[in-house]
Every structure is written in structure tokens, then in C-alpha cells.
Chains A and B, each alone.
Chain A
Amino acid sequence: MKEKLVLVGNGMAGVRTLEELLKINPDAYDITVFGAEPYGNYNRIMLSPMLTGETNLDEIMLNTREWYADNNITLHTGKKVVKIDRKNRIVYADDGTETVYDRLLLATGSKPFILPVPGHDLEGVIGFRDVNDVEMMLDAAKKYKHAVVIGGGLLGLEAANGLQKNGMKVRVVHLSETLMDRQLDSESGKMLQRELEARGVEFLMGASTKELVGRKRVKAITFQDGREISADLVVMAVGIKPDIELAESAGIYCNRGIVVNDTMQSYDPKIYAVGECVQHRNQTYGLVAPLFEMAKVCANHLAKLGYGRYEGSVTSTKLKVTGIDLFSAGDFNGDDDCERIVYRDPSQNIYKKVVLKDNRIQGAVLYGNTMDGPWYFQLMREGTDVSAFRDSLMFGQGHLGDSGHDNNSVMNMSDDAEVCGCNGVTKGDIVKAITTEGLFTLDEVKAHTKASASCGGCSGLVEQILASTVGSDFSHPEVKPLCGCTDHSHDQVREAIRSEVYTSVDEVYKKLDWRNENGCPTCRPAVNYYLISTWPEQAHDDSQSRFVNERVHANIQKDRTYTVVPRMWGGVTTPDELRAIADAADKYEVPMVKLTGGQRIDLVGLQKEQLPNIWKDLNAAGMVSGHAYGKALRTVKTCIGSQYCRFGTQDSVEMGIALEKLSWASWTPHKFKMAVSGCPRNCAEATIKDFGVVAVDSGYELHIGGNGGIKVRVTDLLARVETDGEVLEYAGAFMQLYREEARYLERTAPWIERVGLNYVKERIVEDTENRIELNERFLLSQKIAQKDPWAELTKDEHRLEFVPMKRFDDQPNAQTSEDKVAVNA
């Protein structure tokens, strides 16, 4: 006779233990499972996407009834075990079912903590734990309007996001001042709050709940400070507590959870426990990664292999709200002995912080770009000394050991680096599965390796591994929305503009159901760019959708003055131009005249009202705007070239001028810089430009995708050509491809890394016809774009933009105002 194993709790940890056990010894036990819920085993983590409608119950089932049958497991669903007779080794369920055991496994999980305030038992007050809760929320969303989520942690925010997606007006009540304060520092917490607010979720911070008000169903909430808000649904997400009711009633030793040793045994050695219900080395856990580690060890012992000990886990967190990337691990604030390295890019909404002690990572918070999360996590767990690469730590793993040529970080990950923290799957496991099983999709990798099968937070990384292993023809899933005003991605918005022939920002917002009627500062410039680049002849270029620099065609500075940079074609100027610039600098009392890094002259510190006048003077001397302020063609740097240089092979100056005349005034997704060098010594630094030309004896090498800014990237070689005409044609075609296909604010370097050099080559080098067409479209759009904006803006009809509406002497009794000080500063 086989021994009998009974599992109480048909959830993630218990069933995972059975799976592990079946893998090592399928015949060890007769297995019986009791589950209080009426289903097979499902992925509880996915309740959040189920609430938003991104998935459904069928899709989140981990083990169907057939699985239990196939493995000879007796399954009792909808039956709660209420008693354990330890002496006779029998469990009793609430319907009277009795089952004898030799070994018992408790995996009862935890219960949502319900604040014991008056009214907590009213109808409409629930936790967020199981399918039933999700169904109640979906049902409430159909009938009611006001939802309140108590608790701004992981669970609460996922609930809030889901309810908001279902059309409810959602407010989140949080006791402290920072969201997810156990995972985020205040800066990243604020960024998260801002992003959720843009999606329409409201927050009451620092609010302590006093009472839930209502007769039968909840109607309102009151707070300690006297505030009151209406609520038809209250979701309590303030925490969880291990479900130890059954164990305690059976006299098994419990503290906060069921106390277990390193082999997952309770004080009664016949009774094991795994999952959220246990307390191990004084820790309880609320995430799946540690539970799965426990499951492995426990299965090993049930199979009587007797090795393997569970020694506790370090966890990291992600938030599963589509479009929000966030990662947190370890001690992200640090103590007095810690150092913090911080990287911020507010315009891209990126924030990264790594906390170090003695050059070892203690914790990290990443917001906006979480690609390097697993790497920091690995360094942290392994206690690696990072002093050797501290300088480039914040730029990620892809930045190590190369000059930025190939910053695909997954290629640089070692094989034993953990990709999926939930399931402990390494990069090596994934690559092996892809190559031996011939996998092509994320779903297939998920099925074979379990990577990204739990929280899905690593799916981006898994996709990159797929891409780098099988090439770019794997299937992409979900898309990131352009901003909080819409669910459409950049690419979807652009495609709609193209196929539906939208020609104004308003029309796009109306037809695509934008949530905020005038959009926001993130989408307005993007949509405007997509319109004018797609329909150069038809679209209305909306100046109110442009950032101030592009609206007034000058760079704003911190003291609200502006800088003016006239174009110097190919970096060549004349005594007359220099005289005109010098005269203008005198006449307008320009505080600073500076050489830019782009081979021209910056007139710094002009007042807005002076702009049209100085432009008029510069125009009169034959100069036009240098677009030093725009997402547009900037400069074409050149070296001296074959006209004079003893090494020059081609006339780089003439070529630079020709390229600048071709491309100036074009609007691009991000700024676009060019350079032409006369020989491979490359004095114009062409190999860090968006489009760089290096002359060689036989003609020209054309380079693309370079970047000298935040993250240096050396160009890729696109092609070698012989004639000047070809250089111009390739340049036009390349710019047009970039203009048509890159996302707004995506520079050529990241764009090429996303689509691959081969793709660009296919479209431009291998497909001659396509190249010619792209170039023709570029020339057409240039016909419309190539007007000097300065000449345009000095016309009388634009005068109002540059002058105050009215000037008054201030009121005699007005006090000294600090504002004015700022203006004069």
C-alpha cells in the first residue's frame, strides 16, 4: 500500500509542491487535495489583469481538473477542512468528508487583513484575494460609481487600476505620504502617483480611516481628520495575515504563521506547511518566488530524498499595471553608512537609484526603465563588489566592457543570471529551451520554462532573449500606451493617423477616445509630430502643441531668457556673417557669445521681446535659424577635407553643406545630427552622429545610429557608396524612414537597436525602389518644411507672441514681489 498524502489548500504553493514531487517521484503517494475555492488551481497573481479585463479565468488556470485526474489525484473543491485529528491522522471537511493521511501538507495561504473599524462588515466591503472578490468588483463596477481602495501598496494599486479601467471613479486612501512605501522611496513613489493620477485615479494621502458608513451597503467613509467621501465599494488592501486557523485549532505550534524548520516541517513532523501560511526563521512571505523555493525543498523531503534545505529568500517587487515599469529590491533607502547613486531623466520619466554599502548593492529602485532590475538583484544577492564598474553601474549591464556598440543587455547577461525571479529560471535555461525545442513565442517559452509564467514582470527580458536567440521574428505581446490619456501605443496612434487620414490633434483625440480632451504635455507634441510627418501637406501644425522652444524657435533658459543660434552651413562662416553676429551682439547687448559643440555660435541671454528684432538683423545678413532648439535637423559638422588637408580624400566641406541644405528645417522624432569627415581619421567625429559620412579613397562610408550624448553609441555601417548623389539619396531615405517609423522622442540609436540594423539595410540598401520612394517623400515634405521660421515669425501676424498683452505701472501700494526679481535676474 502506498502512503497517503493529503494537501489542504489548493493554491499556488501547495500545488507547486505536488508538481515538484510528481517530477521526482510520481508514485510515492496516494494524493488527496482539499480546496475551499470551487476551482482547480489558478494563478492568483493574474487576478489583477483579470480585473482589468486583460485576461480571464480560463487563461489563468494553472492546473485543470484533467491534470488532477491524469495524475491520480483525488480533488475535493469547494470543501474546507475544519478539523485535524492528529492522533488518528484524519482530516475532516465542512461537508463531513473524512480522509486518512500518513503525511499532511498545509498550504492555506493568507487572508486579507480587514481593518476593524465600525462598518467593516457592511455589504460592499471586500478584500482582494480570490476569484470571488474579482467577480464582486466587476459586478459592483456595473452598478455603482464610487470605489475606494484602502491601502496604496502593490495590491491596492492594482485593484485601483483595475476598477478605474472598469469605469469606476476610484480613490485610493493611504496612511503614509508615499505610495508603496515598503517598496519605493519618496521620489519614485511620487512618479508612480503622478502616472496613476494621469490615468484618472485620485489619492488621499496621510488619511486614516475612522468609520465605514451605511445601513446595509456601504455609502461613505469618514476619516480621523473629519473628511468624508462617498463609497459604494470599499476594497481593503492594507495587508494580509497568514491563515493559521486550522493549524491552531489542531494544536500545531503557530506564531504569526505556522512555524516550520528548514525542511518545511511543523512541530508535528508528519505535518508539513508551505506558502504564505508559514513562518520560517521568523519571516513570513507574500510573494510567489519564496513559496516556490519552499515547494522544491518540501517536495524533496516528501520524496524522502532528504537533501535540500530552505534558508529563506530575498525578494524583489514589480507592479503589474500595464504601461508602468517599476522594480524594487532590498533596502532602497539605506542607512548612514550607505551611498546612493541616482540617475534621473524627467522628460522620459526615468528614475534609478542603487544603494551601496562598501561597494556592494543593498537595494535598488527603478522606475520607467526596469531592464537592469534582474542584474542589480543578482549583484545584490551575490554580494558582488561593484567597484570595478561603479562608474557605469547606472547605465546597466549592457554598458559593461564595450564602447556602447552593442548595448543589448541580454546578450551580456551570463548564463546563470536569473531572469525570472518568481520561478528561478536562468538565462541559460531559456536559451536552451529556445534552441532545443525550437520555440518562437513568449507563450511557448512560458510553457516550457515557466519563465514569466507567474507575475509576467520579466516578459520584456524574455522577449529580448528570444529576439537575440532567434532573430527579430518572434511575436510581441502587449503594448505600452503613449501616455496616461490613452490606451493606444505610439505605433497604433500613428497607424490610425495614416489609415484614417486624421489631420489635426483634436480629431485624433476625438476619434481615438482620448481620456483628457486636450491631452497632456506628453502626447500633444507627439501627436502633432505624427500628424505633420505623415501628412506634410494636409496636417495643421499646432503651435500650442509644441514645447516652448519649438513654438518660439529659440532655446529657453533657466532665467527665462533665450538663446539664438544661426545656422552655419557645414560649419563654414564668412567675415561678413561674423561681423553681422558681432554687430547684433553689440546692439542687443547679448550677455554671452559662445561657440557651441556643433560648430556654430550661440547668442545667449536674450529677452523674448528682442527675438524678432535680432532675427531680422541676422536674416538681413543672409542667416537663418539653426534649429538648435528642435526635434529637427541640428548641425552638420565637417572637417577641413580634401580642399586643404593633406590627407583628405573627398571634399567633406562641400558634402556637409550639401547635406545641410538638403535636410535643414526637417522635423524628426528626436534631434538629428550629421557629420562628414574627409578621411578615416574622422576629425568631424562622424561615427557618433545620427548620420555620419566618412570619406574614403573610393567614395564614402555611410554610418547610422550614433549618439554622443547620455549614452555613447558608435554608429553602424549602413553602406559604402561612390558618388555624391548617392550620399544625398541615402541620407534623405534614411531620415525619412526614421521620420516615418521611429517613435516620438526615440533617437536613431535606440530606434536602430529596437528594429535592428538589418531591417534598416533591407529597406534602404537592398530595396532600391523603396530607397528612391523614401527619398522622394522626404523631398516632398522638405518643400513644405524648408521655410526659415525666423523670417516667418518676424512677420506682423506673429508679433503678439513676443510682446506682453499689456504693460502697467504696478499698483503704488503693491509690495515688492519676488517674481519680478526672477525676471530681472
Chain B
Amino acid sequence: MSNWIEVGKLEDIPRLGSRVVDMERREIAIFRTELDDIFAVANSCPHKKGPLAEGIVHGKKVTCPLHNWTIDLESGEAVAPDKGCARRYETKVESGMVWINSAEA
């Protein structure tokens, strides 16, 4: 199942930063790396549901602001030795606009 939706301009997401898409029943965090890769994962840390969008982004990872778990944005998996997974969504950028597939990847 795919369900692509346009969420906004690439330039509206800060480099090494994040923005949130509010889906009413859930939040999706969109991350932009230094090299403009875009990733989308549930804005909910697998540890205790911390807001990943508020974490520090480094490489292709984000570190949760609440208790420092690090999540690999490519897979949504917590970096070992922590274990857990944040839901991941497909993304694409077309003419400067960011799209996500709101069906889970």
C-alpha cells in the first residue's frame, strides 16, 4: 500500500534538524541530514516515547532528548546495545518538495 503525501519545502527543515508532521492520530518526524538526505520515522522513541524530532541529529542518526537512545534513521532501529525500533516511512524529494509515504515502510 502506498500513500504519498506532500508535506512541505525541503528548505523548511533545518540541516541536521527536524520537523514534525501531525497526522492527528500520530506524529511523524522528518529529518534532514547535512547532505540533504531526508528520513521519516514515528516521532516516538522506542524507549519511552520521547519526541525524536527534538533530538540532536548526527550523521544518519538522531539521539533522543529524554534518555539518550540513538536511532538509526535509515532503519528506524535503536543503535546497539539498545534494542527497539521506531516506525519508518518512505520519503522522496521532488522539485524541492518533500513527500512521505504515510503507509509504514
Q: Which residues of A are at the interface with B, using a C-beta cutoff of 8 A?
A: 189-190, 193-194, 197, 203, 205, 346-347, 516-521, 524-525, 543-545, 547-548, 551-552, 556, 558, 560, 800, 804-811, 814, 816-820, 822-823
Shortest Cβ distance from residue B42 to the other chain A in the assembled complex, whole angstroms = 5
Evaluate contact between B25 and A822: CB separation under 8 angstroms. no
Which of B7, B25, B26, B58 is within 8 Å of A516, CB to CB? B58
Contact with A along B7-49 (1 / 0, CB 8 A): 1100011111101111111110010011000000011100011
Query: B84 interface residue, CB < 8 Å from A?
Result: no
Decide: A190 near B81, CB < 8 A? Known: A545-B56, A820-B25. Answer: yes
Please report the C-alpha to C-alpha distance between residue A816 and residue B58 in the assembled complex, in whole angstroms: 31
Evaluate contact between B27 and A820: CB separation under 8 angstroms. yes
The 7 closest A-B pairs by CB, nearest first: A805-B19, A190-B81, A822-B49, A810-B25, A548-B54, A819-B44, A804-B22
Evaluate contact between B22 and A808: CB separation under 8 angstroms. yes
Q: Which residues of B contact A823 (CB under 8 A)?
A: 27
**CB-CB nearest in chain B for A545:** B56
Please report the C-alpha to C-alpha distance between residue A409 and residue B87 in the assembled complex, in whole angstroms: 48
Shortest Cβ distance from residue B83 to the other chain A in the assembled complex, whole angstroms = 10
- What 17 additional pairs, Cβ within 8 angstroms, besides A346-B67, A556-B65, A806-B7? A203-B80, A347-B68, A521-B58, A544-B15, A548-B55, A800-B12, A800-B19, A804-B27, A805-B7, A805-B30, A806-B22, A807-B24, A808-B22, A809-B24, A810-B26, A817-B26, A819-B44
Q: Which residues of B contact A556 (CB under 8 A)?
A: 51, 54, 65-66
Please report the C-alpha to C-alpha distance between residue A739 and residue B50 in the assembled complex, in whole angstroms: 31
| 30 A-B pairs whose Cβ atoms sit less than 8 Å apart in the complex | A189-B81, A190-B82, A193-B80, A205-B80, A346-B67, A517-B59, A518-B16, A518-B58, A521-B55, A521-B56, A521-B58, A544-B17, A548-B55, A551-B54, A560-B54, A804-B20, A805-B20, A808-B22, A808-B23, A809-B23, A810-B23, A811-B3, A811-B23, A814-B23, A814-B25, A814-B26, A816-B25, A819-B43, A820-B25, A820-B27
- Judged by DSSP, the binding face of B is loop
**CB-CB nearest in chain B for A194:** B81
Decide: A544 near B42, CB < 8 A? Known: A805-B21, A820-B27. Answer: no
Q: Which residues of B contact A806 (CB under 8 A)?
A: 7-8, 21-22
Evaluate contact between A518 and B24: CB separation under 8 angstroms. no
Q: Which residues of B are at the interface with A, using a C-beta cutoff of 8 A?
A: 3, 5, 7-8, 12-17, 19-27, 30, 33-34, 42-44, 48-51, 54-59, 63, 65-68, 70, 79-82, 102-103
**CB-CB nearest in chain A for B70:** A521
Decide: A808 near B58, CB < 8 A? Known: A558-B48, A819-B26. Answer: no
**CB-CB nearest in chain A for B8:** A805
Q: Which residues of A contact B20 (CB under 8 A)?
A: 804-805
Evaluate contact between B102 and A811: CB separation under 8 angstroms. yes
Q: Which residues of B contact A205 (CB under 8 A)?
A: 80
Q: Which residues of B contact A814 (CB under 8 A)?
A: 23, 25-26
Please report the C-alpha to C-alpha distance between residue A525 and residue B16 in the assembled complex, in whole angstroms: 13
Shortest Cβ distance from residue B21 to the other chain A in the assembled complex, whole angstroms = 5
Please report the C-alpha to C-alpha distance between residue A189 and residue B80 in the assembled complex, in whole angstroms: 12
Please report the C-alpha to C-alpha distance between residue A346 and residue B68 in the assembled complex, in whole angstroms: 8
Evaluate contact between A548 and B58: CB separation under 8 angstroms. no
Evaluate contact between A544 and B16: CB separation under 8 angstroms. yes
Evaluate contact between B24 and A822: CB separation under 8 angstroms. no
Q: Which residues of B contact A819 (CB under 8 A)?
A: 26-27, 42-44, 49
Shortest Cβ distance from residue B48 to the other chain A in the assembled complex, whole angstroms = 7
Evaluate contact between B25 and A518: CB separation under 8 angstroms. no
Q: Which residues of A contact B14 (CB under 8 A)?
A: 543-544
**CB-CB nearest in chain A for B44:** A819
Q: Which residues of A contact B8 (CB under 8 A)?
A: 805-806
Please report the C-alpha to C-alpha distance between residue A552 and residue B19 in the assembled complex, in whole angstroms: 13
A-B contacts, CB under 8 A, total: 120
Evaluate contact between B56 and A547: CB separation under 8 angstroms. yes
**CB-CB nearest in chain B for A560:** B51
Please report the C-alpha to C-alpha distance between residue A808 and residue B102 in the assembled complex, in whole angstroms: 11
Shortest Cβ distance from residue B63 to the other chain A in the assembled complex, whole angstroms = 4
Please report the C-alpha to C-alpha distance between residue A588 and residue B26 in the assembled complex, in whole angstroms: 23
Evaluate contact between A524 and B58: CB separation under 8 angstroms. yes
**CB-CB nearest in chain A for B51:** A560
Please report the C-alpha to C-alpha distance between residue A628 and residue B63 in the assembled complex, in whole angstroms: 22
Please report the C-alpha to C-alpha distance between residue A629 and residue B102 in the assembled complex, in whole angstroms: 35
Q: Which residues of A contact B79 (CB under 8 A)?
A: 197
Please report the C-alpha to C-alpha distance between residue A823 and residue B70 in the assembled complex, in whole angstroms: 20
Shortest Cβ distance from residue A821 to the other chain B in the assembled complex, whole angstroms = 9
Decide: A804 near B81, CB < 8 A? Known: A517-B34, A545-B56, A558-B66. Answer: no
Shortest Cβ distance from residue A629 to the other chain B in the assembled complex, whole angstroms = 12
Shortest Cβ distance from residue B49 to the other chain A in the assembled complex, whole angstroms = 4
Evaluate contact between A544 and B56: CB separation under 8 angstroms. yes
- Which of A189, A516, A800 is most buried by chain B, counting CB atoms within 10 A of its CB? A800
**CB-CB nearest in chain A for B79:** A197
Please report the C-alpha to C-alpha distance between residue A806 and residue B15 in the assembled complex, in whole angstroms: 18
Which of B24, B54, B68 is within 8 Å of A808, CB to CB? B24
Please report the C-alpha to C-alpha distance between residue A810 and residue B5 in the assembled complex, in whole angstroms: 11
Q: Which residues of B contact A520 (CB under 8 A)?
A: 58, 63
Evaluate contact between B65 and A548: CB separation under 8 angstroms. yes
Please report the C-alpha to C-alpha distance between residue A18 and residue B55 in the assembled complex, in whole angstroms: 60
Q: Which residues of B contact A519 (CB under 8 A)?
A: 58
Please report the C-alpha to C-alpha distance between residue A805 and residue B38 in the assembled complex, in whole angstroms: 14
Q: Which residues of B contact A524 (CB under 8 A)?
A: 56, 58
Q: Which residues of A contact B44 (CB under 8 A)?
A: 818-819, 822
Q: Which residues of B contact A516 (CB under 8 A)?
A: 58-59
Q: Which residues of B contact A809 (CB under 8 A)?
A: 23-24
- Which of B17, B25, B33, B51 is most buried by chain A, counting CB atoms within 10 A of its CB? B25
Q: Which residues of B contact A197 (CB under 8 A)?
A: 79-80
Please report the C-alpha to C-alpha distance between residue A572 and residue B24 in the assembled complex, in whole angstroms: 43
Please report the C-alpha to C-alpha distance between residue A810 and residue B23 in the assembled complex, in whole angstroms: 5
Q: Which residues of A contact B65 (CB under 8 A)?
A: 547-548, 556
Q: Which residues of A contact B5 (CB under 8 A)?
A: 808
Shortest Cβ distance from residue A7 to the other chain B in the assembled complex, whole angstroms = 46
Shortest Cβ distance from residue A561 to the other chain B in the assembled complex, whole angstroms = 10
**CB-CB nearest in chain B for A552:** B54
Please report the C-alpha to C-alpha distance between residue A821 and residue B67 in the assembled complex, in whole angstroms: 20
Please report the C-alpha to C-alpha distance between residue A807 and residue B102 in the assembled complex, in whole angstroms: 13
Q: Which residues of A contact B19 (CB under 8 A)?
A: 800, 804-805
**CB-CB nearest in chain A for B16:** A544
Q: Which residues of B contact A545 (CB under 8 A)?
A: 56
Please report the C-alpha to C-alpha distance between residue A521 and residue B57 in the assembled complex, in whole angstroms: 8
Please report the C-alpha to C-alpha distance between residue A209 and residue B79 in the assembled complex, in whole angstroms: 24
Please report the C-alpha to C-alpha distance between residue A175 and residue B54 in the assembled complex, in whole angstroms: 37
Q: Which residues of A contact B70 (CB under 8 A)?
A: 521
Q: Which residues of A contact B34 (CB under 8 A)?
A: 517-518
Q: Which residues of B contact A525 (CB under 8 A)?
A: 56
Shortest Cβ distance from residue A606 to the other chain B in the assembled complex, whole angstroms = 14
Please report the C-alpha to C-alpha distance between residue A811 and residue B23 in the assembled complex, in whole angstroms: 8
Q: Which residues of B contact A544 (CB under 8 A)?
A: 14-17, 56-57
Please report the C-alpha to C-alpha distance between residue A805 and residue B22 in the assembled complex, in whole angstroms: 8
Please report the C-alpha to C-alpha distance between residue A520 and residue B33 in the assembled complex, in whole angstroms: 13
**CB-CB nearest in chain A for B49:** A822
Evaluate contact between B25 and A560: CB separation under 8 angstroms. no
Please report the C-alpha to C-alpha distance between residue A521 and residue B13 in the assembled complex, in whole angstroms: 19
Decide: A805 near B26, CB < 8 A? Known: A518-B34, A519-B58, A544-B17. Answer: no
Please report the C-alpha to C-alpha distance between residue A470 and residue B26 in the assembled complex, in whole angstroms: 63
Shortest Cβ distance from residue A642 to the other chain B in the assembled complex, whole angstroms = 44
**CB-CB nearest in chain B for A190:** B81
Please report the C-alpha to C-alpha distance between residue A816 and residue B24 in the assembled complex, in whole angstroms: 11
Q: Which residues of A contact B66 (CB under 8 A)?
A: 556, 558
Please report the C-alpha to C-alpha distance between residue A516 and residue B63 in the assembled complex, in whole angstroms: 14
Please report the C-alpha to C-alpha distance between residue A808 and residue B6 in the assembled complex, in whole angstroms: 10
Q: Which residues of A contact B43 (CB under 8 A)?
A: 819
Please report the C-alpha to C-alpha distance between residue A808 and residue B27 in the assembled complex, in whole angstroms: 10
Please report the C-alpha to C-alpha distance between residue A524 and residue B44 in the assembled complex, in whole angstroms: 23
Please report the C-alpha to C-alpha distance between residue A806 and residue B12 in the assembled complex, in whole angstroms: 11
Q: Which residues of A contact B103 (CB under 8 A)?
A: 811
Evaluate contact between B49 and A808: CB separation under 8 angstroms. no
Shortest Cβ distance from residue B75 to the other chain A in the assembled complex, whole angstroms = 15
